[in-house]
Amino acid sequence: MLDIECFSFLNRALESETAPVVMMATNRGITRIRGTDYRSPHGIPLDLLDRMIIVPTAPYTHQELREILNIRCEEEDCQMSADALTVLTRVATETSLRYAIQLITTASLVSKRRKAAEVCL
């Protein structure tokens, strides 16, 4: 929600001797720069955009999520059956990876309380 005055301030700040590191995240396409009638990529003035490094991101695939969860299970010393890992991967796909990782600890505590060797369905 930055307008042209904010971008002018950032441009000036980036030219100072103690220039800050500025990180921005946006999903806007070619759109109008707020406070002007000009259009540019991400709604950022071209002079500032030329000084930026654009890092494209993509969501994790199902297999990548499964591998991340498997590594996290190993780190937390939690044995998990293949079926439970599949369900956890689906949870990560439908909600978030952070939520699925939090469920690993919960599932591990429940399995220890049941005196089970591994987390299973």
Domains of the chain: 4-49 (no CATH), 62-113 (1.10.8.60)
For the chain, give the DSSP string. --BHHHHHHHHHHHTSTTPPP--------EEEPBTSS-EEETT--HHHHTT-------PPPHHHHHHHHHHHHHHTT--B-HHHHHHHHHHHHHS-HHHHHHHHHHHHHHHHHTT-SSB--
pLDDT by residue for the chain (121 residues), tens digit each?
788 898 889 888 888 888 888 888 888 889 898 888 889 998 899 888 898 898 888 899 999 999 999 999 999 888 999 999 999 999 999 999 999 999 999 999 998 898 888 888 8
pLDDT of res. 86: 94
pLDDT of res. 57: 86
pLDDT of res. 69: 95
